A and B are shown apart, each in its own frame.
Chain A
Amino acid sequence: MHRAVCVWMRVTLPWSGEESERVKGALKKKPMSLRRKRAIVGYLFISPFILGFLLFILQPLATSLRMSFSNVSLGGEAGFSMDYTGIDNYTRAFTVDPDFNRLLVDSLKDVLINAPSIIIFSLIAAVLLNRKFPGRGFVRAIFFMPVVLTSGVVLGLESQNSLLAGMSQLQTAETNTSVTSFAQNVLLGSFTDVGSGIVGFVLNIIDHFYDIVVAAGIQTVVFLSALQSINPSIYESADIEGCTAWEKFWKITMPMVSPMILVNWIYTIVDRFIRSDNQLMVKILNAAGVTLEYGYSSAMAWVYCVAMLLIIGVSVWAISKVVYYYD
């Protein structure tokens, strides 16, 4: 009763200075306690993540950073001991190791060439799958299948097989190679250096087409859901204005799906970097698991991780400049 009067006073008599301050205090008190309660409950909800983050991510990250600056030897009371050696592991990776620089450049090149191809392919595939044609559900199911099937150990075996296969039984891309190299000769023979980069890019897509299709499952579905959430009336009004399909794609579809390009880009880059058939990843794992050079392995992993974060940071900054948000 008293509170209701106070509220009335505050609403109708805003100039009754001191009284209104007191009322504000009284009114504020209740929501504050609810907010605090909700904060505590919220922390309880995310406590598994906080625990896991501190124990199984932050702690190992710190250890691995320390290991990368030291020489790790197993045994002893704590299970292993570290002697600080400065940046020895890093200089070894960059200057002594014959493979590291080459593998690092290779995997960066692989990401920078294949990630855009995957994005372009998945966008095209999503646009096609969004059209009506017989058997669409079946085709969608098959497009998404690699996400489920070529994961984990299967992906590793796939590349191992193509490395080992002496016979043509398990080889699939035999003929592709010769076609593209032939095309390269014909095209680049007549062109000057101007277009060769683009031609190389396209030919590379053709060479790695299977890899690209297989890696594009999740991205295709994300683009597809974005396409389906576009309001059809936008297309209708474009039709009435006389837009061609080409114009509609660039003026409507592209801006509307551009936030998804950012999401897919990050997903693709991370996915490419941690693929189990990545040669540098294999080297890092072997250094830790087989030759037990934990310090050296950590140093290589950190260089790799920093390179990846740099690529993600720069590209996300660049892409977010052109992304269009409808709401």
Chain B
Amino acid sequence: MINKAAIKRKITKFTTTLVLMILMFGLCFLILQPLLNKISVSLMAERDLYDSTIVAVPKHFTTENYSIAYQLMDYTNSFMTTFSVAMAVSVLQVCSCLVVGYGIARYDFPLKKFWFAMLILMIVVPQQTYSAALQLWFRNFDIFGIFRLLTGSTLDLTGTVAPVLMLAGTCTGLKCGLYVYLFRQYFRNIPKDIEEAAYIDGCGTLRTLFSIMLPDAIPLASSCFLFSFVWQWTDNYFTTLLMKSANLLPARLNGIASTLISYMSPVRPSLTYQNAISATGTILLLVPIIIVYLVAQKKFVQSLSATAVKM
């Protein structure tokens, strides 16, 4: 009798696990499918693209698409530019967001609620609402008329890296509100006793931050850095808006079809071929961040789970 029940339970458990795994396999495939599709298209020779019997595995395997896309995107140069910009921006963002999040979480000051509300406002109001004005502001950049006094005209900062760095350094860049919120959430949960003990032992404000708070916050800071780096890497919106002519990978990828047309003129490449090349370009853009993700995958997920987000 007991044996029968045990067997029944075992069968039920086995079946649910099996169904769950099939479901999970399907969902994983669904998520990965566009990427796999792009990879297979990027390895096809041009004639394979028109062959309707070929679905996934290329008949004429070639890496020619990669060398074309590599040339069209000016990959080596734009990779270096993108890397340095993304690096600088994410380091600045993490530092400024950490400091601001720490201040909001651990210090009481007048109008604290107001500034926190402004932070939430910054998260909620889409930056696209005021992006045109922001662009004009950076095009005619001036602080209290100082530059006009010195040089006779305002500075045009669009096209340089300065606007993006300024936004990053002042917690107003891409998704900065999210990072500040995460840091605030994290620092809020550290018991006050630790801080008080540090004060009694003679730690100053900065010493407390650097030797008591920061070591524990390193995991969160590094995951915020990863997020920031990856999102900056693929961001096309702010970079087109504020640093127009810069040689960045996302901008290169966005314009790859038109570059291909002018590269191959007078022959006009077919739409399918353009798509294949842009799929190849997408793979080239994604390869670095796929590697980053595979190496640091746990960090991405942990940061969000560790700072149990509560309102």
Contact = CB atoms under 8 A, between A and B. Distances in A.
Contacts of B127: 274
A259 B129 contact: no
A288 B132 contact: yes
Contacts of B311: 259, 262-263
A133 B308 contact: no
A260 B99 CA distance: 26
Contact of A128 (B24, B99, B310): B24
B32 A142 contact: yes
B20 A48 contact: no
A225 B308 CA distance: 7
A221 B21 contact: no
Contact of A140 (B109, B169, B272, B301): B301
A115 interface: no
Given A38-B108, A42-B107, A61-B129, A229 B30 contact: no
A79 B154 CA distance: 8
Given A161-B278, A259-B311, A166 B272 contact: yes
B133 A169 contact: no
Interface in A235-279: 259-260, 262-263, 266, 270, 273-274, 276
A172 B301 contact: no
Given A60-B134, A164-B275, A167-B49, A266 B129 contact: no
A234 B215 CA distance: 34
A133 to B, nearest CB: 5
Given A49-B119, A297-B132, A170 B41 contact: yes
B169 A48 contact: yes
Contacts of B124: 266, 270, 309, 312
A63 B140 CA distance: 13
Given A49-B180, A79-B154, A157 B24 contact: no
Nearest to A79: B140
A42 B205 CA distance: 10
Contact of A308 (B126, B166, B231, B293): B126
Given A148-B293, A153-B235, A128 B23 contact: yes
Contacts of B112: 42
A226 interface: yes
Given A152-B235, A209-B30, A48 B170 contact: yes
B307 to A, nearest CB: 9
Contact of B115 (A46, A263, A308): A46
A201 interface: no
Contacts of A157: 253-254, 278, 282
Contact of B289 (A149, A281, A301): A149
A41 B34 contact: no
A196 interface: no
B247 interface: no
Interface in B260-275: 271-272, 274-275
Given A48-B96, A134-B21, A135-B21, A221 B301 contact: yes
Interface string B279-294: 1001001100110010
Interface string A129-173: 001011100011111111111011110111001001111111010
Given A48-B100, A259-B311, A63 B133 contact: yes
A53 interface: yes
Contact of A64 (B52, B130, B279): B130
Contacts of A142: 28, 31-32
B100 A49 contact: yes
Contacts of B309: 222, 225, 260, 263
Nearest to A210: B30
B301 A166 contact: no
Contacts of A187: none
A72 B96 CA distance: 34
Interface string B110-128: 1010010011001111111
Interface string A220-233: 01101110110000
Nearest to A306: B129
A63 B137 contact: yes
Interface in B123-167: 123-137, 139-140, 154, 166-167
A43 interface: yes
A125 interface: yes
A45 B100 contact: yes
A48 B99 contact: yes
Nearest to A66: B133
A55 interface: yes
A52 B290 contact: no
Nearest to A320: B311
14 contacts: A40-B109, A53-B122, A57-B172, A139-B24, A143-B31, A148-B300, A151-B231, A153-B254, A164-B275, A170-B279, A172-B33, A225-B306, A301-B129, A308-B126
Given A263-B310, A298-B130, 11 more contacts: A42-B112, A45-B102, A49-B96, A63-B136, A78-B154, A79-B140, A80-B140, A169-B37, A224-B305, A285-B128, A294-B133
